[in-house]
Amino acid sequence: MSIKAKQVAGVTTLVVAIVAIMSAYHLATLARMSLEETRLRGEMMARAIYHRARAVVPPPGIDLASALRNDGGVRSILESGIGYTPNVTYVAIVDAKGAVIAHPFPTQEGQILPEQEELGPIIERGAISQLRAVYSDKTYEVRQALLAGEEQFGSIRIGISTILIREEFKTALNTALGTVVVALLIATFVAILLSQWMLRPIHVIQSGLTRLGRGELDVTLELPGEEFRDLGSSFEAVSAQLSAVRTKPLPSAATDLESVMENLEDAVALFSPSGEVIFTNTAMKALLAEHSEHPAMRQLIDQTLAGRKSLGPLPITAAAPAGAAEHTRADTPERLLVTHAIEDGSGRFLGAMLVARNLGYLSHVHS
């Protein structure tokens, strides 16, 4: 994956992740607030029924349950409770055994009303429990204990359904998904533009390196911004150094080899297959000038040219001139002769190389 693709993917993923997290938080908050609002409305209704029921005084000979059932105020509150909020499914006063004392529908009175899970503890559990309650088909209850004196006579039970909360939640969820899609498109577009702007210096540097590779001289970079000014200056300095190196003439390999051979302390000479001297360095020129007719030297060269094989090493001591003093003969350096047959890559014989090592000089260096 290219740098541009990674940058676009990174920016887009970051934006989408932020929008998704904020949307999830919004949905969780919406679910909690909707359930909390429904519970508060149920509690308000239960309190209204409770205060009216406390004001009911049964006539002599009539029990409290019959008085509550026949009280106009209680009946009015129960009947209006169904339309008070669309999430309420039933409103009832039940005795301690769960039998219905008063209900908006008289046919339900006297029947056992099954208990449902209370809504309050679900709201206190957390976002996951709240979302699970919204998407469940269960009916929840808001309860209020009903006292007769100091004893619990029964309870007020408000049935709550989460179907309408679920519909509201689905609408908000669709809105959040649309927001994520829009954010994805906008983030992708902005990331592409941002990557073009941020990667432009890299493209400029790549173009400059390509021009240097083609051999162009004095290549300069036009990098935008203060951040890349030092990088551009360094690139121009390197370009100037390369230009100076390219314009400077380089010594040939032959010139370097000849310079090395000329400064050798050992004597070196090259001979053609016919025995003609092709090359001699300074030390060999002095040696041949004084001892060109030395029998061992001449014989070694002739045998190498004839047999085309390397020979040696052969130590020799050049004869001192006639009449020389004894100390002069003692100072005459001893030489070690070696010949090498020279062939090309195909095995064709090209000549011979004679090397005369100055053993006296080596002994002096070692000491």
SS3 for 65?
A: helix
Instruction: Write the pLDDT tens digit of every residue in 118-145.
Output: 888 888 888 888 888 888 878 888 988 8
Other C-beta atoms within 10 Å of 100: how many? 22
3-state secondary structure 227-286: CCHHHHHHHHHHHHHHHHHHHCCCCCHHHHHHHHHHCCCCEEEEECCCCCEEEECHHHHH
Q: Say how far apart CA 166 and CA 199 lie, in whole Å.
A: 48
Residue 318: pLDDT band with limits 50, 70, 90: low
Is 344 among the domain residues? yes
- State the number of CA atoms in the 13 A half-sphere of 186 facing the CB: 9
Chain length of the chain: 367
Residue 293: pLDDT band with limits 50, 70, 90: low
Domain that holds residue 95: 3-176
Overall number of domains in the chain: 2
**Contacting residues for 345 by C-beta, under 8 A, at least 6 apart:** none
User: Is it the case that residue 268 has pLDDT exceeding 50?
Assistant: yes
**Contacting residues for 59 by C-beta, under 8 A, at least 6 apart:** 67
Q: Do 121 and 269 fall within a single domain?
A: no
| pLDDT for res 328 | 44
Q: Do 172 and 280 fall within a single domain?
A: no
Q: For residue 256, give Cα distances in angstroms to 126, 232, 274, 357.
A: 86, 37, 27, 22
Among residues 1, 9, 3, 88, the alpha carbon closest in space to that of 49 is found at 88
Q: Do 161 and 267 fall within a single domain?
A: no
Is 229 among the domain residues? no
Q: Say how far apart CA 241 and CA 57 lie, in whole Å.
A: 109
| pLDDT for res 36 | 86
Range name among 13-17, 131-135, 250-254 with the lowest pLDDT average: 250-254
- Compute the average pLDDT of residues 325-335: 54
Is 267 among the domain residues? yes
User: Is it the case that residue 223 has pLDDT exceeding 70?
Assistant: no
Among residues 134, 158, 138, the alpha carbon closest in space to that of 146 is found at 158
Q: Say how far apart CA 366 and CA 116 lie, in whole Å.
A: 109
Residue 301: CATH number of its domain? 3.30.450.20
Whether the CB-CB separation of 87 and 38 falls below 8 Å is answered with yes
**In the listed set 149, 176, 203, which residue is the last one of a domain according to the structure?**
176
**In the listed set 157, 176, 195, which residue is the last one of a domain according to the structure?**
176
Q: Say how far apart CA 123 and CA 292 lie, in whole Å.
A: 117
**Interior angle at CA 289, CA 335 and CA 330, nearest 5:** 40
Tell me the one-letter amino acid at 284.
Answer: M
Residue 326: pLDDT band with limits 50, 70, 90: very low
User: Is it the case that residue 231 has pLDDT exceeding 70?
Assistant: no
Q: Is the pTM of this model over 0.75?
A: no
Range name among 252-256, 275-279, 348-352 with the lowest pLDDT average: 252-256
Is 228 among the domain residues? no
Instruction: Write the pLDDT tens digit of every residue in 201-222.
Output: 777 777 777 777 776 766 776 6
Strands (E), 149-201: 151-161
| pLDDT for res 10 | 78
Q: Which pair of tokens denotes residue 86?
A: 């669309």
Is 224 among the domain residues? no
Q: Do 35 and 123 fall within a single domain?
A: yes
SS3 for 108?
A: helix
